[in-house]
Amino acid sequence: MSAPSPEGPQQVRIALGDRSYDILIGAGLMDRPATWDGLPQAAAALIVSNTTVAPLYAARLRAALAPRYRSVHEVVLPDGEDHKDWQTLNRVFDALLARGCDRKTVLFALGGGVVGDMTGFAAASYMRGVPFVQVPTTLLAQVDSSVGGKTAINHPLGKNMIGAFYQPARVVCDLDTLATLPPRELSAGLAEVIKYGPIADMDFLAWIEANIDALMARDPQALAHAVRRSCEIKAEVVGQDERESGLRAILNFGHTFGHAIEAGLGYGQWLHGEAVGCGMVMALQLSRRLGLVDEAFVQRVTALVARAGLPTVGPALGADRYLELMRVDKKAEAGEIRFVVIERPGQAGVRGAPDALVRQVLADCTR
Amino acid sequence: MSAPSPEGPQQVRIALGDRSYDILIGAGLMDRPATWDGLPQAAAALIVSNTTVAPLYAARLRAALAPRYRSVHEVVLPDGEDHKDWQTLNRVFDALLARGCDRKTVLFALGGGVVGDMTGFAAASYMRGVPFVQVPTTLLAQVDSSVGGKTAINHPLGKNMIGAFYQPARVVCDLDTLATLPPRELSAGLAEVIKYGPIADMDFLAWIEANIDALMARDPQALAHAVRRSCEIKAEVVGQDERESGLRAILNFGHTFGHAIEAGLGYGQWLHGEAVGCGMVMALQLSRRLGLVDEAFVQRVTALVARAGLPTVGPALGADRYLELMRVDKKAEAGEIRFVVIERPGQAGVRGAPDALVRQVLADCTR
C-alpha cells in the first residue's frame, strides 16, 4: 500500500443538481479518513463485494467504515459477469432484510463493474432507494462503470436490460487496488480509457499512445492521469445528458458490437472491456465505410487497442447472429440498430447503417 | 357500459415538474379517443393485465390503442398479491425482450394495485426506464395505488421492499370498470377512501359518512366524487413530497399494522384494503392511547370502517409477531417502528410509540 500522495486526492465533480457528487482519485484513499467524510448518516452500512475482491480489500473498507456506522454488514457475491443476474442481486436484498436494514442504510460497492452495477441497482430498488457509494477496484470500473449512475443486471436475452439510472453519493477510486488487478483486466480497463480519445479528445488519444507502455506497466502517475482524464470526460457528457436521451450514447462507442460478442459467446467468456476493444475496431471500420474517417485513423486506433493487449478480431458468430443480437441493443429503435460511429477524429455520433455495410465490417473483423 | 358523461372526464393534476401528469376520471373513458391523446410516441405498446381483468377489458383497451401503436402486445399475469414477486415480474421482461420492444415502448397497467405496482416497477427498470400509463380497474387502485409513482414487488421478508419511485405518464380511471368489481374489493377500496378523512379532510369524512350507502351501492355520482376527492388529496401530498422524505408518510395511515396483518397471514389472505381498514382502527386506538384523539372519534371512524364492509378486529398473530413484522416496515428507522397516528381529527403525523402501548392496542384489537 502506498502512502497518500502529499498533494492529496484528485477530485472530479459530476454536476447533476441535487444528485451531484464527487469522484475521488488517489493512492491510499480507502485508509484516509477524510475519504468518508460527509456521506449520508445511517445506523448501518452494507459492503457488497465478490469472492475475489473481498479477501483483498473488505477488511480495509470495514475498518474505515467501522467508526462511522453502528453496524457494518457484508455480503460476498460470486465473481463474474455470468452472475450479474436476479438470483445474485436477490442475495443483496436477502442480506439487507435479514439484518433489518432500514431505508437509510448506505451500500458500498467494493469491486469491479459487475459489483458496482448490481449494488447500484440494489440501492436504487431497496425500499425504493437507499444511498450507495462506489469503491471501484478495477481500472474499467474506475474510468467508466462506477461513474454516471447506470446500474443494471443482465437478462438471458440481453445485457443490462433491467436496471435504473441511479447516482451514487460518491465514487472512491483508490489507485492502490489496481496493483492486484490481473493483466487481462488491466487491458480491459484500458479499452474504456482509449474510448475517450476517438469520441471526445484527440489530445488524450495522443497522450495514451505516448504512455501506453507506462500504463501497461501500471505506472502510478500514468494511471492517475488516465483515470482522472477519463472521469473528466465522462463527467462532462453525463452532466449534459444524465439519462441518455442523446449525447450520452457516444459513451457506448464499441459497445453495440461488443455486447453482441459478449452475448453471442455467453457472458463471461470475453471480458466486457475486451469485447469493447474489439467492438471499437468494428465501429471504426463501419465509420470508415460510411465515409466518416480514413483507413489511417482506423489503423492508428486499432494499433493502440492491440498494444493495450486487447483483441482486434471478433469471434465468428456469423453476421446473422451479430445482427440479431444487435437488434436488442438498448439503443435500437423500432428494430433499427443505432451505431455509435466516429464522425471525425475526436467526435462521435449515433447513426443507423445499411445491413450490407455492417455485414462487410463483420466479414472483415471476425475470424 | 355507460355513455361518457356530457361534461367530459374530470381531471386532477399531479404537479411534479417535468414528471407532472394528469389523472382522468370518468365513465367510458377507455373508449373515448381523447383519453389517449398526447401520450409518448412509440412503435409498440404492451398491455400488462391479469387473468381476472384481461378477459373483461383487455380487448377494449387494445382496440383503443391499436390506431396509435404499430404493435400492441399483451402479457397476462396470474391474479393476486401472492404473485407480486420477481418471478411474475420477470414475465413482463420476458415478453418485452422476446418481442424486441425498444426503450420507447409504452406499458399500460390494466388492473388493480398489484398489476399497477408490478407494471410500474417493470417500466422503471426495463432498459432503465420506459413510459407507462396506469389504467386502474379497482377502486383501491383508482383512489390510491395508481397515483403517486410508488411501484414495487414483495420480498418473502416484507411487502413492497423492492421497487422504485417512478411516475406514470397518465392515470386513466374509467369508472365503468368498477361495475365488475367483487364486493370484497369494493370494500377494500373504500378503506383507502375513508383514510383520506382522518388524515387530511374532515369534511370529506362527513361526506363519506353521509354517502356510504350510495358508495356501497356503486352509485356512479358518489363513486366519481369519492375518486376525485381522494386523488386531489393524494395529489396535494405527493406534489409536496414525492419520495416520502416526510409528509407523504401520512398516506400510510393504517398501513403499518395493515402490512403486519398481510404478512403475518400470508399475502393474499386478507386483501390489502381489508388489512388497511383494520389497521386504521388499530392506529386510531394507538392515537387515543397517546392522548391525541378521544374515544368518540375512534368509534366514529371504526363505525364507518365497519359500514364499508371491512374488518375492525385483527387476526390473533400474537403481539410479538406483530411487533417483529412491523420492525421491518419501510418507515422503521434503526429498529424503531414509526406509526402514522392521528394528531387531531383531519391531521396525521408520524411517531414512535412504547411497545407496551402497542401491545395494549393489539390486545384490544385482535381476536
Chain B residues whose CB is inside 8 A of the A330 CB are 102-103, 127-128
Give me B34's grid cell.
381523447
Catalytic status, residue A73: no
Q: Which of B255, B288, B300, B338 is catalytic?
A: B255
Going along chain A from its start, the domains and CATH numbers come out as 10-180 (3.40.50.1970), 199-365 (1.20.1090.10)
Chain A residues whose CB is inside 8 A of the B70 CB are 334
Give me B285's grid cell.
386506538
Above 60 in pLDDT, residue A5?
Answer: no
Above 50 in pLDDT, residue B2?
Answer: no
Q: Cα–Cα distances in Å, from A132 out to A21, A76, A173, B100, B204?
A: 11, 16, 15, 32, 42
Chain A: residue whose CA lies nearest to B333? A102
Q: Can you list the positions of beta strands (E) in A15-82?
A: 21-26, 44-50, 71-77
Q: Is B160 left (phi over 0), alpha (psi -120 to 50) or beta?
A: left
Among the residue ranges A225-229, A260-264, B276-280, the one predicted with the least confidence is A260-264
User: How does B327-346 read in b/e, with b if 16+ C-beta sit within 10 Å?
Assistant: ebbbbbeeeebbbbbbbebe
Give me A163's grid cell.
436496471
Query: Residue B298's closest CA among B253, B345, B252?
Result: B345
Task: Give the mean model confidence (pLDDT) for residues B115-131.
Answer: 98
How would residue A3 be classed by pLDDT, with cut points 50, 70 and 90? very low
Least CB-CB distance to B165: which of A43, A129, A328?
A: A129
Backbone angles phi, psi at A275, to 5 degrees: -65, -35
Portion of chain B with pLDDT greater than 90, in percent = 92
The runs of H, that is alpha helices, within chain B are 59-65, 86-98, 113-125, 139-140, 183-200, 202-216, 220-240, 255-265, 272-289, 295-307, 319-327, 355-365
d(CA A232, CA B333): 37
Q: Across the interface, do B128 and A164 touch by the CB < 8 Å criterion?
A: yes
- The pLDDT assigned to A131 comes to 98
Backbone angles phi, psi at A339, to 5 degrees: -100, 140
Q: Cα–Cα distances in Å, from B18 out to B14, B15, B21, B168, B169?
A: 11, 9, 9, 12, 11
Above 50 in pLDDT, residue A1?
Answer: no
Query: Residue A349's closest CA among A279, A265, A249?
Result: A249
Residue with cell 397497467: B109
Chain A: residue whose CA lies nearest to B124? A164
Per the prediction, chain A carries an average pLDDT of 95
pTM for this entry: 0.94
- The pLDDT assigned to A8 comes to 72
Task: Give the mean model confidence (pLDDT) for residues B7-11.
Answer: 82
Under an 8 Å CB criterion, which residues of B touch A? 43-44, 70, 86, 90, 93-94, 97-98, 100, 102-104, 124-129, 150-152, 155, 157-158, 160-165, 243-244, 327-328, 330, 332-335
Catalytic status, residue A185: no
Query: Residue B274's closest CA among B260, B256, B262, B286?
Result: B262
d(CA A264, CA A249): 22
Catalytic status, residue B209: no
Q: Give the closest-approach CA distance of B294 to chain A in angstroms.
A: 33
Above 70 in pLDDT, residue A124?
Answer: yes
DSSP 8-class letter at A250: G
Catalytic status, residue B272: yes
- The pLDDT assigned to A352 comes to 95
Q: Which of B62, B170, B229, B248 is catalytic?
A: B248
CA angle B282, B193, B227 (to 5 degrees): 170
Task: Give the mean model confidence (pLDDT) for residues A71-100.
Answer: 96
Query: Residue B163's closest CA among A32, A202, A127?
Result: A127
pLDDT, tens only, B233-276 = 999 999 999 999 889 999 999 999 999 999 899 878 999 999 99
Q: Give the closest-approach CA distance of B351 to chain A in angstroms.
A: 16
Q: Across the interface, do B157 and A98 touch by the CB < 8 Å criterion?
A: yes
Q: Which of B73, B81, B252, B300 is catalytic?
A: B252
- The pLDDT assigned to A333 comes to 85
Q: Give the closest-approach CA distance of B291 to chain A in angstroms.
A: 28
- The pLDDT assigned to A98 comes to 94
Q: Give the closest-approach CA distance of A157 to chain B in angstroms.
A: 6
Chain A: residue whose CA lies nearest to B329? A102
Give me B223's grid cell.
363513486
Question: B322: helix, coil or strand?
Answer: helix
d(CA B51, CA B80): 10
Beta-carbon pairs below 8 A across chains A and B: 102
Chain B: residue whose CA lies nearest to A99? B328
Q: Which of A150, A228, A229, A338 is catalytic?
A: A150
d(CA B76, CA B312): 34
Portion of chain B with pLDDT greater than 70, in percent = 98
Q: Across the interface, do A332 and B90 touch by the CB < 8 Å criterion?
A: no
Q: How do A347-351 and A339-344 pair as beta strands? A: antiparallel
DSSP 8-class letter at B339: E
Catalytic status, residue B331: no
Least CB-CB distance to A97: which of B43, B151, B157?
A: B157
Above 70 in pLDDT, residue A139?
Answer: yes
Dihedral sign (CA A35, A37, A38, A39): positive
Catalytic status, residue A128: yes
Task: Give the mean model confidence (pLDDT) for residues B333-356.
Answer: 95
Chain B residues whose CB is inside 8 A of the A323 CB are none
- The pLDDT assigned to A212 comes to 98
Q: Across the interface, do B163 and A330 touch by the CB < 8 Å criterion?
A: no
Q: Which of B272, B288, B289, B338 is catalytic?
A: B272
The runs of H, that is alpha helices, within B103-247 are 113-125, 139-140, 183-200, 202-216, 220-240
d(CA A347, CA A305): 18
Q: Give the closest-approach CA distance of A299 to chain B in angstroms.
A: 34
Catalytic status, residue A19: no
Q: Give the closest-approach CA distance of A162 to chain B in angstroms.
A: 5
Above 80 in pLDDT, residue A93?
Answer: yes
Above 50 in pLDDT, residue B145?
Answer: yes
Residue with cell 455470468: A82
Give me B125's grid cell.
427498470
- The pLDDT assigned to B3 comes to 43
d(CA A57, CA A64): 11
> Environment class of residue A200 by beta-carbon count within 10 Å: exposed (0-12), middle (13-18) or buried (19+)?
buried
Task: Give the mean model confidence (pLDDT) for residues A123-151.
Answer: 97
pLDDT, tens only, A156-184 = 888 899 999 999 999 999 999 999 999 99
How would residue B4 be classed by pLDDT, with cut points 50, 70 and 90? very low
- The pLDDT assigned to A7 comes to 59
Catalytic status, residue B324: no
- The pLDDT assigned to B7 comes to 59
| B5 in Cβ contact with B174 (< 8 Å) | no
Q: Give the closest-approach CA distance of B207 to chain A in angstroms.
A: 34
Least CB-CB distance to B161: which of A93, A334, A335?
A: A93
Q: How do A170-174 and A21-26 pair as beta strands? A: parallel
| A135 in Cβ contact with A108 (< 8 Å) | yes
Query: Residue B190's closest CA among B66, B33, B305, B362?
Result: B305
Question: B311: helix, coil or strand?
Answer: coil
Mutation test of the interface with chain B: which of A103, A121, A127, choosing the one with the most B Cβ atoms within 10 A? Answer: A127
